[in-house]
Structure formats: structure tokens, C-alpha cells
Structure 1
């Protein structure tokens, strides 16, 4: 196996007890292992094969005992994933995939939604304390925004994004577009990355708020303190990205990505 991609995550960073907790929560005999095959040579990766036929799972991991996600405390699992997401921005970018897999496994095996309820409750708690989180740890704040956008991207109700997450996600992005945030490249980078990921979905759910968000972004260019060159470039790119129907034109790709690489 080559070097891990950005989407791979070394699950060994969890302690042994937590690793076992996550393994049990993710196991389901017939679930497509979108996240169940997360231990391959110590790397978290994605596999589209069925759980039972996946060659990357050793026989010792394929026994039938403890496959029921309900065998573990799924509320604890939700807290473990959120806690780790707030500390590790690489993990927060892909944790939604793991959460989706656990929700599917629990629904299939137990017909319940303990994990989803615990996850949403914890997201709400962190959302309500978002200003304190930002003041305490800028990295933790950026990780939280990345995580909640990732969850919004993956979780569906009747094949539609969860309405309950629309305004919280918008509120987080509006916070990133405030003058004091636009002066920090980490927050500008997070704002642009999340708009690339979920901007089109959010606009379909509430176009008026997206218009208001982009007014803030455009106003950012008039800040008296000014923006860094990288922040200006990122914000110009996302304005053009939305104007082009949430797509990157070949000319824009060539211009912006060559500028960033330079």
C-alpha cells in the first residue's frame, strides 16, 4: 500500500478501548462497509465492497459475535467521535462517513436511533457554546465547523439534508465571515472549504441566507485592516465558484490554483 491519502486516518490514535468500541459500533453483517473496513494496515479508508466479502477484513474480524451495534453504548460512541473531531481536523473532515455507517448499522440491526440522537444533542451543545470554543481554541472551532458541515453533508432524512442542521451550519459560516475571522487565514480557509462542500445544498435549503452570507464575504474586501493576499484569493475564488453555479470553470481552476501553488 502506498502513502495514505488525505481521506485515510490512522485509527491507532485512539486508545485500545475506544478502538474496540468503534469497531463494535460499526459492525453489521450485511452493511456495505463504507466505514466498517476502517482498519487496514492501521489506516482508516473506504471500501465499497459488502462487509462479508471484503478481502481487507481478516477472518478473525468476521466472526458473528458482538456484531450488533446495540451491544455498545452508542451515546458514548457519539461523544468519542465528537471529542476526537474537535481535536483533529483531519479526522473531522471524514468523521461524517463513520457516523453515517453507524447510523445505518444501528437502524438495520436494532431499528433505533440512539447514536443519531446522541450525536445531534452533542452537536447542539457545542453549537450553543461556539463562541466560548472559538475563544478557547481556534483549531477546535475550525474542527467543529468542519465536523458539523461533514455531518450535514452525509446525514439524510428521506434523501434530503437534515433541516435541523441548516441554520446551525449557516450560523457557523456567518461567524467565519465576520471581520475578526476574515483576518485569520485558518478561518477563511475553513469558510471556503465548507462552502465548496455544502454551499450548493445550503443554498437550495435557504437561498436568502446564502445571499446574505455572500454580502458579508464581499464586504470583507473593504475591511480597514485589510485581508492577507491568500485570504483575498480564497474569497475571490469562492465568489466566482458560486457565480458559476457552484462549479469551477477551467479558467478559474487554472488561475486560482496556480496562484495558490505559487
Structure 2
């Protein structure tokens, strides 16, 4: 069963040694160098947009499933999120979607571990939302939603939920 679950992650792009390292990290994170694992994951995320979504899932699994301290992953994850909050990335709806998805998943935990960096990230997102020309309306909606999500203590009021998610359904 465990063999199959790690195969659910798209890690075929890596060489066999790295695949083994990632599989081990998913099963028994205490037995590997998590900083090395997080650097591998982040490097690949920057090279491959599609993988950045996987990166979030992998980190989430390593942390959640195994109750590992997330400390080793905090800085690389923030680096990745900061990269996704740059103006060129905000122009890409898929990247905004990825950023918002990760913040929904682990934003609250990340903020507890490093509030100043979360503030810095959200200053970028706010400025992107307010000042950046040429964002798609969906990218704007996603940014507004995540700004409101954090402002509400990492929760969305039922009214806000209806606003954002009925808009998308229409």
C-alpha cells in the first residue's frame, strides 16, 4: 500500500536516487535530511510549474501525515511562495491558483512559524492586487479571496464564501 501511495506523487522527473529519497521522506521523514529534501522539491518547483502543485502536496504529507516539525521546510516553502508572488508570476493565472491553494493548505501553520515573512508575502499580494496592471479577473478574484481569508484569521465568512465560490460556478 505504501509503495503505491508514494507513486501517486509525480516524482518520475527525478533520477532514481532522488525518487528513493522522496519516497523515504514520505514514509519516514525522520530518517532523511529534510533540508536536502526541501531544497530538491523547491528547485524542481521553480523549474516546473506543474510540479509546484505536487510540491505542496508532498510537503503537506511529510508534515501532516508524519507529524514532523515543519521547521526545516519553512524557509524553502516561503521562498517558493515569495517567488509565486512576484509580478511576473501573478500575471500567470495558474501560478496564482497554485499560490492560493498552498496558502489555503498551510498558510496558517506557516504564519505561526514566521509571521514577519507571512506579512512580507501578503504585502506583495496586496500590492499585486491593487497596483499590478494586466491581471486576469480570475487572478484578481483569487488574490482578493486569499487576502480576505487571512484577514479573517485563515477562515472565510459564509457570505464571503458564497461571493467567491458562487461567482466561479456561474
Matches of 2:21 and 2:95, distance apart in 1: 22
The structure 2 residue matched to 1:214, chosen from 119, 122, 127, is 122
The structure 1 residue matched to 2:19, chosen from 66, 79, 96, is 79
Number of the residue aligned with 1:203: 111
The structure 2 residue matched to 1:147, chosen from 39, 55, 58, is 58
User: Considering only CA atoms, is the larger Rg found in Structure 1 or Structure 2?
Assistant: 1
The structure 2 residue matched to 1:127, chosen from 26, 37, 42, is 42
Q: CA RMSD in A?
A: 3.1
| 4+ residue runs over 4 A deviation | 80-83
**How many pairs align?**
161
Which sections of structure 1, spanning at least 5 residues, go unmatched?
Answer: 1-18, 24-34, 36-43, 45-75, 84-95, 105-112
Number of the residue aligned with 2:73: 165
- Cα deviation 1:185-214 (Å, max 9, x = unaligned): 111111111111111111111111111100
Residues 1:174 and 1:154: Cα distance change in structure 2 (over 3 Å) = farther
Q: Return the TM-score normalized by structure 2.
A: 0.78
Residues 1:171 and 1:153: Cα distance change in structure 2 (over 3 Å) = farther
Higher relative contact order (CA 8 A, sep 6+): 2
Which sections of structure 2, spanning at least 5 residues, go unmatched?
Answer: 9-15
- Cα deviation 1:120-150 (Å, max 9, x = unaligned): 533323434654x1xxx32133433443344
Number of the residue aligned with 1:235: 143
Asked whether the equivalents of residues 108 and 154 of structure 2 are also in contact (C-alpha less than 8 Å), the reply is yes
Matches of 1:155 and 1:170, distance apart in 2: 21
1:22 aligns with 2:3: yes
Answer 1 or 2: which has greater helix percent.
2
Residues 1:216 and 1:189: Cα distance change in structure 2 (over 3 Å) = same
Matches of 1:209 and 1:153, distance apart in 2: 22
Residues 1:185 and 1:151: Cα distance change in structure 2 (over 3 Å) = farther
